[in-house]
Amino acid sequence: MASAPAPLPGYISSPLENSSSQNASRESLKMEPLADVALLPGEERVIDKDLIYMCPFNGALKGKVFITNYRLYFKSTDSEVTVTLDVPLGVISRIEKMGGASSRGENSYGLDITCKDMRNLRFALKQEGHSRRDIFGELFKYAFPLSHGLPLFSYLSQEKFEENGWAVYKPMDEYRRQGLPNERWRISFINSGYDLCDTYPTILVVPFQTPDEDLRRVATFRSRCRIPVLSWIHREKQAVIMRCSQPLVGMSGKRNKDDERYLEVIREANNTPKLTIYDARPNVNAVANKATGGGYEGEDAYQNAELVFLDIHNIHVMRESLKKLKDIVYPNVEESHWLSSLESTHWLEHIKLVLSGAIQVADKVCSGSSVVVHCSDGWDRTAQLTSLAMLMLDSYYRTLRGFQVLIEKEWISFGHKFASRIGHGDKNHADQDRSPIFLQFIDCVWQMTKQFPTAFEFNEHFLITVLDHLYSCRFGTFLYNCETIRENLKVRSKTVSLWSLINSDVSSYVNPFYTHESSRVLYPVASMRHLELWVNYYIRWNPRIRHQQSPVEQRYKELLALRDQYLKKLEELQLSDSSPSSTHLTNSSTPNAASPNQHLTHLQTPF
């Protein structure tokens, strides 16, 4: 009873940077500045240095930086407002020297660090005696271990968790959950040695009628042998979502009878009148791909199919869009023309196209028609579309576990090139393969949670945690491009899964408003009127913004606790009531009797 929760919503500071105005005495700071950050098991100190953090909000702050093999930690020493930075080295995309030994101007000599998570860090050092040489060297080495022949931190981590996150996704279990195999769809082990397709998982679901030899012939006609395989099946209507890469049509307009027959078999599996092929790309891009041997399914060749282009742009366009977004939110929010600046980044418009593409896929499947989804290689836009459509169609994926399965299945096992898109441990910041495709997917999920706040078991904090560890390299979950490589490098045995962390204590990741509704299909409204910039993610480094975990969520949790207290109290009273001796002993001055009203004022509930 005494532990009634505080009436105010709890305010959490952003997870990786903290500002606190505690008047900690200087002495205690000098004694052990790293004492307040617990090192992870396996984390080791590398170097530390006195320097100046050029905070874009508070100005130059003197302090000390500590580099470990996992993180960069900074704590200011001379300011009344204590500023700390806690940055996993994995989020660093680029480190540059700023100024030279002869640079003029205050604090013009130092390091400039660009991060993958929408912020930059700048440190200034004394100009004498090459003071930055050692710290630059070490930082460069540990931020980009793969470029220096060093292991990623996840291989050094000794973290132990109650739950084993690697056990979350078992492909056979997931297909069985979907009701597979059945009389029309079979499990194929043709790829068990990754010799059909080296970027696919070992277990694939294909039409029952199609023998493995046919699959091999189909593979010759699909880019990188990524043949159409089943992602999801509608239990009642047996309509399926198939994913694949583009057909290798080329300039000459090649055809492949096996591919054509294969799609026909897919169509016939549930008697879909016309198979819909969703090509995620804009029409012109699909045409342009013919020049390099790719292309799209022609009308003549695939007579029982209709082709729909979804106008989603490629990884380069998305990268540039996010870059523009960063320009208008970091370090300062563009105030004078905020909305038109936001519009000119096109970020929300891309989100809209991805979401509306997924809505079309989901709607088609819901109406009983099978669909095929592809883009060029079928590992970026295709993954976005299939996973979002599955999220709309299948409430299982909206649970905390189910969402993990969805990511493991549609993204990780089907070869979204996380290593290339994120560039874990790699110094080539300008690599053209980098692109925020997965971030865009998580943003789309967030948009859905905003529109349906009771439909998802996980909360915003969970999504942000996923994104933080997309870069951190603390867990093996998002490492490498495909299953072949992961198997070779023994990711599952040598690293910890992100889901181990999450599932060992889910309380902070759970949405208290979650209401389980098994059969509901969610169609978000993909309109600019509803799409919002995810400020709690993109603008979270700005200390001018109060970082609070949803006050509505907090308050709901408080009320839930209050209800449980009352229920318990009532139970106790009912028990004591049934024992006759105590019936008339209650008097108004006992704590029990006074409790309801006490709580009333204590918790300041609205009665």
Binders of another protein in range 474-533 (CB under 8 A):
513, 515, 517, 520, 522-530, 532-533
170 or 602: whose CB is closer to another protein? 602
Residues touching another protein, count (CB under 8 A) = 105
493 or 601: whose CB is closer to another protein? 601
CA–CA separation, 114 and 133 (whole Å) = 18
257 or 568: whose CB is closer to another protein? 568
81 or 172: whose CB is closer to another protein? 81
- Interface pick for another protein out of 277, 315, 365, 445 (rule CB under 8 A): 315
- Rounded to 5 degrees, φ, ψ at 216 are -60, -40
192 or 590: whose CB is closer to another protein? 590
- Interface pick for another protein out of 299, 343, 431, 487 (rule CB under 8 A): 343
CA nearest neighbour of 72 among 28, 37, 124: 37
Least distance (Å) between residue 432 CB and another protein? 9
Span near another protein by CB under 8 A; candidates 44-52, 137-145, 166-174, 587-595: 587-595
252 or 588: whose CB is closer to another protein? 588
Give me the catalytic one of 375, 444, 473, 482: 375
Residue position matching structure tokens 């700390």: 84
Check if the beta carbon of residue 424 is closer than 8 Å to that of residue 144: no
- Interface pick for another protein out of 54, 61, 229, 329 (rule CB under 8 A): 329
- 290, two tokens: 């013919």
- Interface pick for another protein out of 9, 181, 250, 298 (rule CB under 8 A): 9
Check if the beta carbon of residue 157 is closer than 8 Å to that of residue 474: yes
CA–CA separation, 571 and 580 (whole Å) = 16
Least distance (Å) between residue 506 CB and another protein? 19
- Interface pick for another protein out of 348, 351, 400, 467 (rule CB under 8 A): 348
- Interface pick for another protein out of 53, 73, 278, 309 (rule CB under 8 A): 309
CA–CA separation, 140 and 188 (whole Å) = 45
Written as one string, the DSSP assignment of 351-398 is HHHHHHHHHHHHHHHHTT--EEEE-SSSSSHHHHHHHHHHHHH-GGGG
Q: Does 582 bind another protein (CB under 8 A)?
A: no
Least distance (Å) between residue 416 CB and another protein? 13
Return the residues of window 357-376 that contact another protein according to CB under 8 A. 357, 359-360, 363, 366-367, 375-376
Q: Which residues of 125-191 form beta strands (DSSP E)?
A: 185-188
- Interface pick for another protein out of 1, 21, 213, 508 (rule CB under 8 A): 21
Looking at residue 309, its amino acid is F
158 or 581: whose CB is closer to another protein? 581
- Interface pick for another protein out of 164, 270, 549, 592 (rule CB under 8 A): 592
Three-state SS sequence of 255-303: CCHHHHHHHHHHHHHCCCCCEEEEECCCHHHHHHHHHHCCCCCCCCCCC
Check if the beta carbon of residue 410 is closer than 8 Å to that of residue 418: no
| Ramachandran class of 497: left when φ > 0, alpha when ψ lies in -120 to 50, beta otherwise | beta
Return the residues of window 435-454 that contact another protein according to CB under 8 A. 451-454
Least distance (Å) between residue 56 CB and another protein? 13
301 or 333: whose CB is closer to another protein? 333
Least distance (Å) between residue 359 CB and another protein? 6
- The set of residues, in sequence order, having a beta carbon less than 8 Å from that of 297 and lying 6+ positions away, is 247, 249, 263, 277, 279, 305, 307
3-state secondary structure of 59: strand
Residue position matching structure tokens 């349906």: 452
CA–CA separation, 158 and 41 (whole Å) = 5
Does residue 55 have an active-site annotation? Answer: no
In angstroms, the Cα distances linking 508 to 12, 38, 57, 459, 517 are: 12, 20, 29, 8, 22
Check if the beta carbon of residue 199 is closer than 8 Å to that of residue 418: no
Using only C-alpha atoms, the chain has a radius of gyration, in whole angstroms, of 27
CA–CA separation, 593 and 605 (whole Å) = 18
Q: Does 596 bind another protein (CB under 8 A)?
A: yes
| Cα 60 to the center of its chain, rounded Å | 33
CA–CA separation, 490 and 446 (whole Å) = 32
Instruction: Tell how strand 275-279 and strand 371-374 pair up.
Output: parallel
Site track 372-411 with another protein (rule: CB under 8 A), x = hit: ---xxx--x-------------------------------
- Interface pick for another protein out of 180, 197, 218, 539 (rule CB under 8 A): 539
Span near another protein by CB under 8 A; candidates 60-68, 160-168, 486-494, 555-563: 555-563
In angstroms, the Cα distances linking 240 to 149, 184, 406 are: 44, 11, 16
Q: Does 26 bind another protein (CB under 8 A)?
A: no
357 or 476: whose CB is closer to another protein? 357
CA–CA separation, 109 and 103 (whole Å) = 7
- Interface pick for another protein out of 322, 342, 388, 392 (rule CB under 8 A): 342
Q: Does 5 bind another protein (CB under 8 A)?
A: no
Span near another protein by CB under 8 A; candidates 45-53, 92-100, 180-188, 335-343: 335-343
CA–CA separation, 107 and 130 (whole Å) = 14
- Interface pick for another protein out of 1, 11, 331, 488 (rule CB under 8 A): 11
Least distance (Å) between residue 82 CB and another protein? 11
147 or 451: whose CB is closer to another protein? 451
Least distance (Å) between residue 47 CB and another protein? 31
Return the residues of window 182-201 that contact another protein according to CB under 8 A. none
Return the residues of window 66-85 that contact another protein according to CB under 8 A. 80-81
Least distance (Å) between residue 137 CB and another protein? 35
Check if the beta carbon of residue 223 is closer than 8 Å to that of residue 294: yes
Least distance (Å) between residue 520 CB and another protein? 7
Return the residues of window 137-176 that contact another protein according to CB under 8 A. none
Return the residues of window 269-298 that contact another protein according to CB under 8 A. 281-285, 288-289, 292
186 or 243: whose CB is closer to another protein? 243
* Active site positions, annotated: 375
